Amino acid sequence: MNDLTQPSLTSLAIPGRGFEGLKLEKSDLVIPRAKLLQALSPEVAESKFDGAKAGLIINSLTLEVLPPRAVPIFCWKSWFRFNARTRDAEGWVDGYDPGALIWRSLDPDDARVVSEAKFGPEGETPLALTCLNFFSLFAEAQMPLILSFAKTSYKTGKQLLSLSRFCGGDMWNRAYQIGVDLQKNDQGTYYTFSVKMLGESSEVERQIAESWWQEFSDKAKELKVHEADEPAPF
């Protein structure tokens, strides 16, 4: 299969029998992430599937490797504050384990977001992490995935948002190639997302995207994202 294959109509998963008695809320469903593996990711360190290695983008729920073709459908921001890794590091809070989640928010007016998610007057790094999240359709995937950009990938998230915004029309009118770039710094080597426009999305992609937009976009704050509180390593 070509990595940039467009999805077929079978990608629009219609519930069959067995769900009739359920009154499902959006929070009952876990939406997987498009997870970019690093050398220390559990999937790699613990060899959770054959061929697991840094630089792969996988479905966090099924552990399937994702094809690079994706169509973003809608976007929202989220904010996280994690404890520092060591007691002597800036941002350490007593009472929390190293790297533990201290708080999370979806409200840009949250006092914690206002005070801890912005750069300081001298360019100081914020204590809180800002994420750009795209509810997305990946080619041949049978379920929607959340593509999130934070830390060193945040600039790529802004690139995707800008491309989809300034080209006009619905966000899902265009498809993108989601790739990876190898980076190096004093912490070692790691991977970040890359984005390249592929052109207009297919009619099938637009049909699926609009269906998912109608079903999920007004409930974005209620979505339960798989491993949403896992800190981005870089």
pLDDT at 14: 58
Nearest C-alpha neighbor of 225 from the set 35, 5, 17: 35
Q: What is the DSSP string of 43-67?
A: HHHTT-STT--TT-EEETTT-PBPP
> pLDDT tens digits, residue range 37-47?
999 899 999 99
The average pLDDT across 118-133 equals 87
The average pLDDT across 126-141 equals 92
Q: Is the pLDDT of residue 23 over 90?
A: no
> pLDDT tens digits, residue range 164-218?
999 889 999 999 999 999 998 877 899 999 999 999 999 999 999 999 999 898 8
Task: Give the residue, 174 or 7, on which the prediction is more confident.
Answer: 174
pLDDT at 13: 55
The average pLDDT across 22-45 equals 86
pLDDT at 9: 45
> pLDDT tens digits, residue range 145-164?
999 999 889 999 999 999 99
Q: What is the pTM of this model?
A: 0.87
How large is the C-alpha radius of gyration of the chain?
18
Mean pLDDT of the chain: 87
pLDDT at 234: 47
Q: Which ranges of 29-153 would DSSP assign to H, the alpha helix?
A: 42-45, 111-116
